Amino acid sequence: MDFDWIRIPYALLTLFIVFNYGLLLNALIAKIAARVGRRHGIPIWQNYIDLIKNYGLRSSITHGAMYYLGPVFRLSGGVGLLLFVPTIHGSLMFANLSFAGDLILALYFVFFGTLGMALGAGESGHPHAAIGISRGLSQVTAAELPFALAVFSVALQYQTLSVSEIVAAQQGGMLNWTLFTNPFAVAAAMLSFLGSMMRPPFDVVIAPQEIPIGPPTEYHSSYLALMQTNRAIFPIAKVVVYMNLFFGGATSWPLFCVKVFLIYMVSVLVGVVFPRFRVEQSVRWFLVWALPLGVVAILLV
């Protein structure tokens, strides 16, 4: 089958829109967290300034090829996840590069960036890198298990692995959304979502307030800029997957922005209310509360 090359410019346009929306949304979330703590927070344009500054810097430190490929793999996971799922339902221009089996590919991309960063951190030369990798992968794996079960339940429910067909099956009103037709799968996925977003109470892996080491310090200059770019794209891409699978997708860009914001705010509101879990507490929480819901969703379907 011939590839439709006209998709490429529109996929890049989607990437541009999501990148800027992600930067603005991250700044807005930082503002919200600051207001909760009775602070002013960063200006809404601060992320652009930081990104331009870091892309203009260069590093003379050498750790090895894999160390520098870590941020590249991380960004590839975010960009790939966004480009291989449809953004606007019913629009040929913004269907991106989606195809019949793109749900399985999306699951690979969700985990691809994390594994790339683990390989990169392992070559950083820091004596505690292995501890950070084991903590991060343990928590991410525990969080991904209920999400995988929820996705399989949805695929069985709609008898397809095409994200476009899953979104199409949810059209016709809110009651057709997976949120109402398969609530156990959505509950398991949303509990997993809290962990996958790496916000409190599940951010002990990066522990931004306590640990003055790790990727934000080890990676600097343009490598840090790649991670900042992914931080704008990857969370939005994950939210797009959730929106398409569980909340009826989006048929226009204004609806897209509203749904992405509301789903994203679930993790933000939880993050500003609850204190941080230790890694073993996080793993236990996912296995005790989220995983059984995913199993129930599979059994009911």
Dump pLDDT digits (tens) for 213-260. 555 567 778 888 998 899 999 999 999 999 999 999 999 999 999 999
Cα separation, 214 vs 124, in Å, equals: 9
Cβ-based neighbours of 282, under 8 Å, separated by 6 or more: 139, 142, 143, 195, 201, 202, 204
- What's the mean per-residue pLDDT of the chain? 87
Per-residue confidence at 210, pLDDT binned at 50, 70, 90?
Answer: low
According to the model, what pLDDT value does residue 127 have?
72
**Cα dist. 96→7, 23, 86, 105, 163 in Å?**
6, 21, 6, 14, 12
Convert the pLDDT of each residue in 93-136 to its tens digit: 888 877 766 888 888 888 888 887 788 777 777 777 777 788 88
Q: Tell me, what's the pLDDT at 38?
A: 85
- Contact of 23 with 48, CB cutoff 8 Å: yes
pLDDT in tens, 57-71: 887 777 778 888 888
The per-residue pLDDT for range 163-208, each reduced to its tens digit, is 999 999 999 889 999 999 999 999 999 999 998 888 888 887 776 6
Residues 195-212 as b/e (b if ≥16 CB within 10 A, e otherwise) read bbbbbbbbbbbeeeeeee
Q: Residue 212's pLDDT band (boundaries 50, 70, 90)?
A: very low
Angle in degrees, CA 21, 269, 33, rounded to 5: 70
Asked if 73 and 120 touch (Cβ cutoff 8 Å), the reply is yes
Round to whole Å and give the CA distance between 113 and 285: 24
Domain ranges of the chain: 7-300
Joined tokens for residue 201: 């109470």
